Amino acid sequence: MHPGARTDVGPPSRFLTSRPTLGFGGWAVGGTGWGVSAAERDRLGAIERAVERGVTFFDTAPTYGDGASESLLGRALRPFRERVAIATKIGPRDDPRASLEASLARLGTDYVDVAQLHEAGDQWEWQLEQLSRVREEGKALAVGVSNASHLQLTRALELAPLQTYQGPYNLFDRDVEERHLPLCRRHGIAFLAYRPLASGLLGGAYHAPPSFPEADHRRNIYWFQGAEFARRHEAIARLERLARDRGSSLPALALAWVLARPGVAVVLAGARNAAQVDDNVTAVHRPLTPDEVATVDAIVAETFRPPRASPSARAQAAGWGERERYIVEQLDGSRTYEAIAAGWTDRGEQPMVAAQVKVFCDQLAERGLVE
């Protein structure tokens, strides 16, 4: 495809509805990267229960369990193939055609509903053009992008008939609200929200910073440690009370919050057994009221008040790097971490996310440089 290509094709009707839907995130059923692996029968049972409970969108990737997620999904979904949508991904260093054909073999299907770039790597523009050609051959009904900056997403719209964007989104991590969600709404792109439970933190099981096994991908996620864990744990204690008051679990509350956000098409919730699927589905049947959404937002806003840089910080920043100086200049006590990160990315520099701003602000706080 070339600049000016038609981009108003729209997402496949089999998963786009007039309201956000709950999808199934397939990483955890791959059996690796999430601590001790659940038994295969339990992981298979999770997929089957999702179908029973009306879930029709399943997202996976070749890297989830080194192909195990795709293989398991293929086995479980084969009897229901025409009733469900399957999305998979292409790695940043993979040939799109070879990668997708290998995925189709593992999934046991002739096509996927969405083929996505897993992230925007060095050759992502070439990959996207190649993926569009594969779509024209019928091996994918739609093309999407995941984990790209909003500037890359804007560029992608010039290269291909893009139909989905997948990004992380939960009540703590809201970078996409600044640029991605508005961009998707303007162009009619379906937004697929992954990590709606903050990689399990919003499951409510962690009352102290956890120690994950070496192979667990959460081992190096910053919100499971230090000051960020303390902040999130404080908010979770209040959110758990809200969940109890409405007769639901914390995960169901967190999923219902994402389902209530404007512009979200599918919320991808993972599960490793049928019971987790049942709990996730309650988020659909027990939506949040506007007052409950406002209460959640107030709890999070109070917990994550942006700091103000001290005069000493502003003076010292003159000798720091450009990114650090930029952040300090923006720390006026009113700009959110997400807004600061998006403003930097607008400049066309190396993209920034709110997590990086928070970590830097914690470093400033340790030195007494914020108010």
Catalytic residues: 64
List b or e across 93-109, with b for residues whose CB sees 16 or more CB atoms inside 10 angstroms.
Answer: ebebeebbebbbebbeb
List b or e across 286-308, with b for residues whose CB sees 16 or more CB atoms inside 10 angstroms.
Answer: bebeeebbebbeebbeebbebbe
Q: Where are the alpha helices (DSSP H) in the chain?
A: 40-52, 68-77, 96-107, 124-136, 150-159, 180-187, 226-245, 250-259, 274-285, 290-303, 311-316, 322-330, 337-346, 354-366
Name which of 343, 239, 359, 345 is nearest 301 in CA terms: 239
- Burial class from Cβ neighbours inside 10 Å (0-12, 13-18, 19+) for residue 367 reads exposed
**Torsion, CA 46, CA 48, CA 52, CA 58, rounded to 10:** 80
Tallying the residues shown for the chain, one arrives at: 371
Q: What residues have CB less than 8 Å from 230, skipping those under 6 apart?
A: none
Q: How many CA atoms lie within 13 A of 343 on its CB side?
A: 13
- Burial class from Cβ neighbours inside 10 Å (0-12, 13-18, 19+) for residue 36 reads exposed
Q: What does the DSSP assignment read for 261-322?
A: STTEEEEEEE-SSHHHHHHHHHHHHSPPPHHHHHHHHHHHHHHTPPPBB-HHHHHHGGGS-H
